[in-house]
């Protein structure tokens, strides 16, 4: 254990305060030593690690309880901390996973020959089953509602997608318009409000 050691308790502190406190402590060492910062979330651990490495320090993190980490930043020389640098720290929060929504507004893909469009859409839906990153939700409306109903050439692929967690939703108004209310063969019935929620909450919207 270093003789020149400071302990910072940053439990309960919102980002970027744990990094700010640790930077100030590093500056206060005025030479070789270590700062041990106690935090209660993984994001703080990641940001402290990034800061320490950027400063040329050695960083070690030890989880001691369900929501407690001890992050030790060690240095063999004085760490330069410019005036005002701690207060200028910003917090890097990892981006969450993308939420991909596929909207199928027609039973044919593209504009032109419908027979070709039907083949293209079938191929597109099959291709989704082969992707490493699956969509979170597939929305079917207008004539796209036909794709989730009895007789659709894509039912097997859609069922495979549903089995691995892809949400399959079909517009109830559209089913009623086309006389398909009792023909839905995969997924669930939804409404325009939910469709609007799914589309506006998506990271990426794909329309074949």
Catalytic residue among 15, 57, 149, 174: 15
171 flagged as catalytic: no
For the chain, report the end-to-end CA distance as a whole number of angstroms: 61
Element (H, E) at 111: none
Q: Where are the alpha helices (DSSP H) in 39-113?
A: 42-54
Instruction: Single out the residue of 139, 138, 124, 200 nearest to residue 174, CA to CA.
Output: 139
What are the strands, taking DSSP E only, across the chain?
5-9, 33-39, 58-65, 68-75, 100-104, 137-140, 167-171, 188-190, 204-206
Tokens 């699956």 belong to residue: 134
Active-site annotation, residues: 15
């Amino acid at each position: 254990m270093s003789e020149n050691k400071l302990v910072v308790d940053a439990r309960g502190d919102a980002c970027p305060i744990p990094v700010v406190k640790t930077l100030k402590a590093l500056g206060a060492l005025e030479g070789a030593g270590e700062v041990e910062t106690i935090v209660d979330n993984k994001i703080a651990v990641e940001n402290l690690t990034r800061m320490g490495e950027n400063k040329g320090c050695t960083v070690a993190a030890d989880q001691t309880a369900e929501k407690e980490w001890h992050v030790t930043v060690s240095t063999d020389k004085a760490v330069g901390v410019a005036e005002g640098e701690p207060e200028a720290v910003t917090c890097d929060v990892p981006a969450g996973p993308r939420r991909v929504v596929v909207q199928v507004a027609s039973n044919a893909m593209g504009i032109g020959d419908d027979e070709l469009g039907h083949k293209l859409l079938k191929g597109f839906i099959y291709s989704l089953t082969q992707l490493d990153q699956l969509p979170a939700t597939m929305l079917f409306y207008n004539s796209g509602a036909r794709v989730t109903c009895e007789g659709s050439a894509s039912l097997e692929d859609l069922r495979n997608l549903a089995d691995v967690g892809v949400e399959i939703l079909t517009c109830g108004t559209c089913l009623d318009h086309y006389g398909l209310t009792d023909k839905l063969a995969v997924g669930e019935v939804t409404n325009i409000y939910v469709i609007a929620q799914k589309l506006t909450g998506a990271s990426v919207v794909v329309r074949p």
